[in-house]
Chains A and B, each alone.
Chain A
Amino acid sequence: MPDFHFELVSPERLVFAGDVEFVVVPGTEGQFTVLKDHAPLMTTLKPGVIDIAESKALVHRYFVRGGFADVSPAGLTILAEQAIPLESLDAARIDADIKDAEEDIADASVDETRRLAAEKRDQLLELKAALKI
């Protein structure tokens, strides 16, 4: 399959850049896979796992804590709030995020922010269950 250019950037550094075959992205409105010549799309991300396939045999997996994906004719760019290789992710890290979200729920003064924080917590809990860690 033809390759396209992909970049994963976190605020502190460029995490991954290169040509890949496909990438699975956890969009807010559902997970989707980007292949070459995908239609231009911008979407926010929920906390989840990005699968980057350089080829069928070589797949990198990263945990992202929310962010933003930009599919343009030039390729795919993901701006992640935080990107951690899945191997170095542990339960403690996710638990800390869940706790943060719960604090946000408690602190929220507006219904809208409370709803967003609750949503985030649910997504994290779901992810934790899915990864079984």
Chain B
Amino acid sequence: MPSLKDLRNRIASVKATQKITKAMQMVAAAKLRRAQNAAEAARPYAERMGRVMSALAASIAPGSPAPGLLAGNGRDKVHLLIVCTAERGLCGGFNSSIARLAREAANSLIGQGKTVKIICVGKKGNDILRRQFEREIIEVVDLRSVKQLGFVNAEAIGRKIVSLYEAGEFDVCTLFYARFKSVISQIPTALQLVPLTVSSEEAAAPQAVYDYEPDEEQILTTLLPRNVSIQVLRALLENAASEQGARMSAMDSASRNAGEMIKKQTMQYNRSRQAMITKELIEIISGAEAL
């Protein structure tokens, strides 16, 4: 039976924890709104870009040599996985669910005898994956010091991907991130970046006959690297919103748990206090009766 003092201390410590989780929840809620706005604001560009890319892809005559970033180099040997996670923990299953998806993909690729290379964006993904894929991780991108995610950050990663591709370091590139569906639901997603996947429904839509200036090939060579950066940017922004959403709901349930614990312990505290008083009374009364 813990003493009254122990109980009091324990209640105080749970209360302090609850204060922290509540504050974190509120901070996450404020950040979520900002992140969500940023993710939504970036959507038009990515959508238009997708439309233009599929129009261009459809216009390239079949058989003519398409740039590698669009059609791939025909091989399927070395896979580059880009795993985007958060820089911080305490956000429920957010980081581990992305890492799990990436790990499963990596394991099945290795099982098929393919080479896997991993770039971790965000510290947490590296922490989780490092144990199993120490040798496969070729780079860790740290976004910890970045306050407001912008195109610059995505462009840096995009450039890295393109230059690795041009150096022949990988054949297929896949991006892992969590798509933001709602505050309580974030879906870990794998998106293939290279070769580009064009949604068949858009490609099948009838296209107007375009004039190109300069010709298709040159436009594609300037546009494709940018498209990679844009997809990375979108993933990063969605990820940021998802992270805050996940943290908000995780901290919400943590505060609730702490509340329940406080209730239970207060009850126990009051009971033992009452029991002590009763015991003392009995002692006094029986002492008085003995006289």
Chain A residues, CB < 8 A from B230: 11
- The answer to whether A79 touches B213 (Cβ under 8 A) is no
User: Hey, which bits of chain B sit against chain A, CB under 8 A?
Assistant: 38, 41-42, 44-45, 48-49, 51-52, 55-56, 150-151, 154, 208-214, 218-219, 222-223, 226, 229-230, 233
Interface of B is mostly: helix
Chain A residues, CB < 8 A from B48: 7, 9, 70, 77, 79
Taken together as a complex, chains A and B put the C-alpha atoms of A14 and B40 apart, in Å, by 10
Taken together as a complex, chains A and B put the C-alpha atoms of A42 and B55 apart, in Å, by 10
Q: Is A72 an interface residue (CB 8 A)?
A: yes
Interface of A is mostly: strand
* Least CB distance, B273 to chain A, in whole angstroms: 59
Chain A residues, CB < 8 A from B212: 41-43
Within 8 A of B (CB), among A33-81: 39-44, 68, 70, 72-73, 77, 79, 81
- The answer to whether A42 touches B219 (Cβ under 8 A) is yes
Q: Is A12 an interface residue (CB 8 A)?
A: yes
Give the nearest-CB partner of B213 in chain A: A43
List 15 A-B pairs, Cβ < 8 Å: A7-B44, A11-B150, A11-B233, A12-B38, A12-B150, A13-B41, A40-B208, A40-B211, A41-B210, A42-B211, A44-B214, A68-B226, A70-B55, A73-B208, A79-B48
Q: Is A123 an interface residue (CB 8 A)?
A: no
- The answer to whether B208 touches A72 (Cβ under 8 A) is yes
Chain B residues, CB < 8 A from A11: 42, 45, 150-151, 154, 229-230, 233
Taken together as a complex, chains A and B put the C-alpha atoms of A49 and B56 apart, in Å, by 26
Taken together as a complex, chains A and B put the C-alpha atoms of A44 and B216 apart, in Å, by 10
- The answer to whether A79 touches B208 (Cβ under 8 A) is no
- What's the tally of chain A residues with a CB closer than 8 Å to chain B? 24
* Least CB distance, A83 to chain B, in whole angstroms: 11
Contacts A42-B52, A42-B219, A68-B223 given; indicate if A9 touches B45 (C-beta within 8 A).
yes
- The answer to whether B49 touches A42 (Cβ under 8 A) is no
- The answer to whether A12 touches B213 (Cβ under 8 A) is no
- The answer to whether B44 touches A14 (Cβ under 8 A) is yes
Within 8 A of B (CB), among A65-122: 68, 70, 72-73, 77, 79, 81-82
Contacts A12-B151, A68-B52 given; indicate if A40 touches B45 (C-beta within 8 A).
no
Looking at A11, A39, A68, A81, which has the most chain B CB atoms within 10 Å of its CB? A11
- The answer to whether B42 touches A41 (Cβ under 8 A) is no
Chain A residues, CB < 8 A from B223: 44, 68
* Least CB distance, B183 to chain A, in whole angstroms: 22
8 additional contacts, CB 8 Å, given A44-B222, A77-B52, A79-B49?
A11-B229, A11-B233, A13-B41, A13-B42, A42-B52, A42-B55, A43-B212, A79-B45
Contacts A70-B52, A79-B52 given; indicate if A9 touches B44 (C-beta within 8 A).
yes
Give the nearest-CB partner of B234 in chain A: A11
Chain B residues, CB < 8 A from A73: 208
- The answer to whether A27 touches B213 (Cβ under 8 A) is yes
Taken together as a complex, chains A and B put the C-alpha atoms of A13 and B151 apart, in Å, by 11
**Binary CB contact string for chain A from 4 to 26 against chain B (1 if under 8 A, 0 otherwise):** 00010111111000000000000
- The answer to whether B151 touches A42 (Cβ under 8 A) is no
Taken together as a complex, chains A and B put the C-alpha atoms of A31 and B56 apart, in Å, by 22
- The answer to whether A29 touches B214 (Cβ under 8 A) is yes
